[in-house]
Amino acid sequence: MREYLNIFFVILRRDLILAFRNKAELINPLMFFVIVIVLFPLAFGSDSALLKQLTSGIIWVTALLATCLSLETIFRSDFEDGSIEQFSLSRYPLTLLVSAKILAHWMTFSIPLIVIALFTGIVLSLSSQTISALFITLLLGTPVLSLIGAITVALTIGLRGGMLLSLLILPLYMPILIFSMLAIQNAAVGQSITAELYFLAGILVLAITLAPIATAAALRIRLS
Amino acid sequence: MKLPRWIHQFGSPKYFYELSLWLSRWVAIVCVICFVCGLYGGLVLAPADYQQGDSFRIMYIHVPSAWMSLFIYMVMAVAGGIGLIWRIKLAEIVARSSAPIGASFTFLALVTGAIWGKPMWGTWWVWDARLTSELILLFLYLGYIALQSAFEDRRVAARAGAILALVGIVNIPIIHYSVEWWSTLHQGPTITKMDKPSIHLSMLIPLLFMVLAFKTFFISTLLIRARSEILEYECNASWVKQLLGSNNVTK
Amino acid sequence: MSLNEFLSMGGYGTYVWSSYGISALVLFINVIQPVLRERKTVRELQKRFQTMQQHQPDSKS
Amino acid sequence: MSKFNVNNLECIRRDNILFQNLNFDLEDGGLLQIDGVNGSGKSSLLQMCAGLIQATEGEVRWNGEDINDCRYQFQSDIRYFGHTNGVKAGLTALENMHVMYALSGAKTAIDYSFVLKQIGLEGMEDILVSRMSAGQKRRVGLSRFFMSGSSLWLLDEPFNALDKDGKIIIEQLIVNHCREGGMVIFATHQSIEIESYPLQHVHLGQHNQTTHHA
């Protein structure tokens, strides 16, 4: 058992080192997030009441799109330099190695994204309950985005047609968006949001158990 | 796990290729009969609904195609799973060929649902829970077909599609429930008359005929599509060469 | 049930017949497209086999 | 005493047949070369032996068991080296070797500087692989074979991008491994002269693949 934990953390450490050495790939999606957020005030006029209502929705949808863009980085470089072949032929189950990579992607991408999202929430003067609801839903939602995203990335690495990934992914992201937005809206009016959080947590647990297995199977198919 | 011998034998494409033409013809005849009875019963015999008048007759297209869209996605996921685990070529072919039919049924359910909603709500599109999950189901189908066409190697495409279909099947109940939850919270519990109105026997029988007609339609067109897939899959096999090599055009 | 009563469908005629029309069209496409595709595949494979036969008439296939 | 055998293997890539009913066996100490022109299916055959690709027909057996049934046992006994080196450009040579060592699950501790010396890269521990030449990258990739723990080696074009003494290192490595009872299957179209060791051949060509003992 200790052996499996050891390989898990070796792969995790390797991916974190790679992410921090190649800063550009880390920063780009976050820049995209901020720029898209800025677009909306330009569209609706900065002081309109409409914008106040929509802010949390804009933040969540933009976080979704930014994640879509960043998913490619999980497997593309490993696919090109043959590391995936070495992983799938190693003595350790591919599921374990893949979950280490997904966790690394979540840590290197989603945690900074949550920080920036909260920061934009404060700047755009959201109420404190909304911001706390935004934080919790992002905390529960973004791992699911990485997990389900990893399956489709594993299926579509190296295929021509860049939009294919988003076409496959967004329908699967809709429940996360729906439950998170409901939680935020309930929080804004002071109602309890436990029901939605239970759903998000349930989907998260389902994704944690099933997604790595599906990703490993998808990678094996993609290699064959 | 090893399957008994006869499943592989039955699953052999050559055997299926000959069988499918004969089978699809018979199933097509049953389909036409069901269509005639269903349409006649639904459009002529069934009395007008007391609330919706005659517009409820759209139900005879909308409800069966909605059921079929979900049913075909399940067929795709199960066939894909079988093809993935036991590597049976036929299962992959069935999964691959049923996707376009499923997509057209989902599109049909959407269009007829929108048209049915128009007289009741006055707008073409209404964010009703069922229509929204049909729309998302259509996206899943289009995603599946797009993924299939993105691969050159047919076998890899089929197995990748199987994974996507299995992921989709797990997500469909989640999507459906989240859309239900979302639509009831936003619009309040609208009494959507999309449900089958209080089913009177003379209305129910045509509906069953229409459902049967749609199922037999699916099976017979699936068999035709499967035949051309088999030829492409097996173009190296000797039986295809004999069949086509000596340029006697079948059918 | 006279014909034009049938056609007017109690005032909802346009909706009912438009949806039936679209369904007929979609089902028709679903019948014709596979048949045409099968003919195309058969023709393509025959052409390929003929060219293969010319190039290596003694091939073991 | 492990043995590796392939029975009537068939490979179809994009609707054309690369090879059909191919049979060969390998015992301890066996050395097998797969040669053939480009695109004759050498890499596909090697990937099938490693279990990366599923064969349309035929089976690959390791110690009498089909490799799909004993996947992880089989995978802990083999080491595969494809066209791509399986080395991360963003990491230094040493870090890459740490990862390879962890992946190989070898129990015995290894002396990294000694391995680097063997592949002729000593003193280059902390240089990013992205700054190395293609030959040096290939050598870092080959360092995985200096970590113990696998009996069957599968090498795809081990010699390309390597200079003369790189070739010698590889040939020495292969012969030593076979002498110690390991097995090696390598695919290459270049003619090589391992004269001091019996060599089996598999030639992949246009439908006339022959297997014979040189």
Number of domains observed in the structure of chain B: 1
pLDDT digits (tens, 9 = 90+) for A106-134: 999 999 999 999 999 998 888 898 999 99
- Pairing mode, strands D57-62 and D4-13: antiparallel
- Per CB-CB distance under 8 Å, the chain D contacts of B230 are none
Q: Is D50 on the interface with A (CB under 8 A)?
A: yes
Cβ of D16 within 8 Å of Cβ of B236? The answer is yes
Q: Could you tell me which residue, C5 or A18, shows the higher pLDDT?
A: A18
Distances (CA, A) of A91 to A3, A94, A95, B49, D11: 11, 9, 12, 66, 26
Residue B155 above 90 pLDDT? no
- Contacting chains of B (3 CB pairs or more, <8 Å) are A, C, D
Nearest by CB to residue D17, choosing from B153, B155, B236, is B236
CA distance to partner chain D, nearest, from residue B152 (Å): 7
Cβ of D90 within 8 Å of Cβ of A17? The answer is yes
Q: Could you tell me which residue, B2 or B234, shows the higher pLDDT?
A: B234
Torsion, Cα of C42, C44, C48, C54 (10° steps): 90
Domain that holds residue A219: 2-223
Distances (CA, A) of B9 to A15, B3, B12, B16, B207: 47, 11, 5, 10, 38
Mean pLDDT of B41-52: 77
Cβ of D17 within 8 Å of Cβ of B152? The answer is no
Q: Give 3-state DSSP helix, strand, coil % of chain C, rounded to 5.
A: 80, 0, 20
CA distance D3 to D78: 12
Residue of D10, D11, D12 to mutate when probing chain B, most B C-beta within 10 A: D12
Residue B11 above 70 pLDDT? no
Q: Is B157 on the interface with A (CB under 8 A)?
A: no
Cβ of B228 within 8 Å of Cβ of C38? The answer is yes
Residue B192 above 50 pLDDT? no
Mean pLDDT of A81-93: 90
Closest CA to A85 of A157, A178, A181, A160: A157
Number of domains observed in the structure of chain A: 1
CATH of the domain at D10: 3.40.50.300
Domain that holds residue B221: 23-187+209-238
Q: Could you tell me which residues come within 8 angstroms of residue D3 by beta carbon, excluding any fewer than 6 positions away?
A: D25, D26, D27, D28, D63, D64
> Contact at 8 Å (CB) between B171 and B105?
no
Q: Is B1 on the interface with D (CB under 8 A)?
A: no
Cβ of B170 within 8 Å of Cβ of A203? The answer is no
Q: Is D40 on the interface with A (CB under 8 A)?
A: no
Chain A residues with CB under 8 Å of a chain B CB are 148, 151-152, 155-156, 159-161, 164, 167-168, 170-172, 174-175, 178-179, 182, 199, 203, 206, 210, 214, 217-218, 221-222, 224
Q: Could you tell me which residues come within 8 angstroms of residue D114 by beta carbon, excluding any fewer than 6 positions away?
A: none
- Write a three-state SS string for D84-115: CCCCCCCCEHHHHHHHHHHHHCCCCCCCHHHH
- Per CB-CB distance under 8 Å, the chain B contacts of C46 are 244-245, 247, 249
Q: What angle do CA D81, D86, D90 make, to 5 degrees?
A: 160
Closest CA to B58 of C7, C10, C19: C19
pLDDT digits (tens, 9 = 90+) for D121-179: 888 888 888 888 888 888 888 888 888 667 889 988 888 888 888 888 888 888 888 88
CA distance to partner chain B, nearest, from residue C31 (Å): 6
CA distance B138 to B69: 9
Residue B73 above 90 pLDDT? yes
Residue of B155, B235, B236, B238 to mutate when probing chain D, most D C-beta within 10 A: B236
pLDDT digits (tens, 9 = 90+) for A5-56: 999 999 999 999 999 998 888 888 899 999 999 998 888 887 777 887 888 9
Closest CA to B223 of B106, B103, B97, B68: B97
Mean pLDDT of D41-54: 88
Q: In this predicted structure, what is the pLDDT of residue D27?
A: 86
> Contact at 8 Å (CB) between D17 and D204?
no
Domain that holds residue D55: 3-213
Cβ of D14 within 8 Å of Cβ of B236? The answer is no
Cβ of B167 within 8 Å of Cβ of A170? The answer is no
Single-letter amino acid, residue B199: I
Number of domains observed in the structure of chain D: 1
- Per CB-CB distance under 8 Å, the chain A contacts of B142 are 167
Has residue B141 been placed in a domain?
yes
CA distance B232 to B15: 15
Nearest by CB to residue C34, choosing from B228, B240, B250, is B228
Q: What angle do CA B233, D67, D27 make, to 5 degrees?
A: 120
pLDDT digits (tens, 9 = 90+) for C7-61: 777 777 888 888 999 999 999 999 999 999 999 998 988 888 888 777 766 544 4
- Per CB-CB distance under 8 Å, the chain D contacts of A91 are 72, 75-76, 103-105
Confidence of residue D210 (pLDDT cuts 50, 70, 90): low
Q: Could you tell me which residues come within 8 angstroms of residue D199 by beta carbon, excluding any fewer than 6 positions away?
A: D31, D32, D33, D213, D214
pLDDT, chain D, mean = 83
Cβ of B156 within 8 Å of Cβ of A148? The answer is no
Half-sphere exposure at residue D90, Cβ-oriented, CA atoms within 13 angstroms: 15
Q: Could you tell me which residue, B21 or B141, shows the higher pLDDT?
A: B141
CA distance to partner chain D, nearest, from residue A22 (Å): 8
- Chains A and B touch, contact meaning at least 3 pairs of CB atoms under 8 angstroms apart: yes
Mean pLDDT of D97-101: 90
Residue B250 above 50 pLDDT? no
Mean pLDDT of B182-206: 65
Distances (CA, A) of A113 to A25, A60, A139, D175: 13, 11, 10, 53
Confidence of residue D214 (pLDDT cuts 50, 70, 90): very low
- Per CB-CB distance under 8 Å, the chain D contacts of A14 are 88, 91, 95, 99
Mean pLDDT of B11-20: 80
Residue D208 above 60 pLDDT? no
Range 215-234 of B in CB contact (< 8 A) with A? none
pLDDT digits (tens, 9 = 90+) for A162-211: 788 888 999 999 999 999 999 999 998 888 889 999 999 999 999 999 99
Cβ of A178 within 8 Å of Cβ of B170? The answer is no
Q: In this predicted structure, what is the pLDDT of residue C61?
A: 41
DSSP state of B197: P
Has residue B34 been placed in a domain?
yes
Question: Residue B183: closest CA among chain A residues belongs to which residue?
Answer: A178
Residue B1 above 70 pLDDT? no
Q: What angle do CA D41, B82, B228 make, to 5 degrees?
A: 65
Nearest by CB to residue D105, choosing from A3, A17, A87, is A3
Range 58-97 of B in CB contact (< 8 A) with C? 58, 61-62, 65
Q: How many angstroms separate the first and last alpha carbons of chain D?
A: 23
- Pairing mode, strands D57-62 and D65-66: antiparallel
User: Tokens 């009537």 identify what position?
Assistant: D8
Q: In this predicted structure, what is the pLDDT of residue D65?
A: 87
Half-sphere exposure at residue A194, Cβ-oriented, CA atoms within 13 angstroms: 1
Cβ of A7 within 8 Å of Cβ of D86? The answer is no
How many interface pairs between A and D have CB atoms less than 8 angstroms apart? 77
ipTM of the shown complex: 0.87
Question: Residue A82: closest CA among chain D residues belongs to which residue?
Answer: D86
